[in-house]
Every structure is written in C-alpha cells, then in structure tokens.
Structure 1
Amino acid sequence: MGSIRLKPGQPSDGTLVSVLFSLEHLKLSVQSLY
C-alpha cells in the first residue's frame, strides 16, 4: 500500500482504510512468524 490520504469529509472511508491497514499489518506479522 502506498501513501494513505484521509479525506476529512469522509470519516467512514478513513475508518475503512484504518481497518484494511491493520489487517495488512496483521497479515505481514503472521507471515513473519510462520
């Protein structure tokens, strides 16, 4: 994922991006463990 730009007018999109970013981070952490 490249640079993440949060639009101030769309808080729902910002939350979605945060969730996706967290999932990606979690996936990478799991891959590094196994």
Structure 2
Amino acid sequence: MISVVYTIRGSRIRIISARAARREERKLWNANTL
C-alpha cells in the first residue's frame, strides 16, 4: 500500500516538474526569438 501511494505521488510530481520544465523552455525560446 505504501509503495503504491509513493509511486502515485512520484508520478504526479514528475508530471508537474515536466510541465514546469516545458514552461521554462517556452520562456527561454520566446526570449530567444524576441
């Protein structure tokens, strides 16, 4: 049970971090294009 909850939390954190990384990449890309 604990390991399952841990993996779910881990995947959720991964998704959030992936979204944040994409946002940062977009900011850098927009700054470079401007």
Percent of aligned pairs sharing the same letter: 11
Runs of 4+ in structure 1 deviating by more than 4 angstroms, as ranges, are: none
TM-score, length-normalised on structure 1?
0.70
Structure 2 residue runs of 5 or longer lacking an equivalent are 1-5
Structure 1 residue runs of 5 or longer lacking an equivalent are 1-7
Q: RMSD over aligned Cα, in angstroms?
A: 1.4
TM-score, length-normalised on structure 2?
0.70
Matched AA of 1:31:
A
| Bigger RCO of structures 1 and 2 (CA < 8 A, at least 6 apart) | 1
Aligned residues: 27
